[in-house]
Structure 1
Amino acid sequence: MPLLSEVPGIHFAVVDWIEPNGNLIMRPFMMYSEKTPAVEVFIAGMAGQLMLHLKRFPEGLPKEWSGLDL
């Protein structure tokens, strides 16, 4: 069997974080790539999911970011 990183197709990931109020947020995203996408692609996907969440829930930053001047 080939390594998963060498199989072309759809790659599914979930980004999760805990809001300051204790809610666990889990946001899925997928990518299509001939090989495992670069780390930068995953980071961009994670950032995109966080931004989508914050558009609806502006107070929903990860609790580790509480108090940061963003």
Structure 2
Amino acid sequence: MLLKILIVCLLIFMVFNLFRAMKIMLKGDSGGTSMTKFIGRRVLTSAIIILLLIIAVAMGWITPNPRPY
């Protein structure tokens, strides 16, 4: 259950960074914080989520659905 909560929190953090980057993009401000900082955080969060899922399946904490239909 803790793993699921962690993944959901990371997904929320990823969406939050996406919207912060969108805000900077729409503002068109060249000064201040860079949009790539937030996009980079989003990509890093996605990589962490994928690694957590792979580790959780390998350790047997979660089981994938054997029959998707």
What TM-score do you get using the length of structure 1 for normalisation? Answer: 0.35
Higher helix content, 1 or 2: 2
Which structure would you say has the larger Rg? 2
Structure (1/2) with the larger strand percentage: 1
TM norm structure 2: 0.36
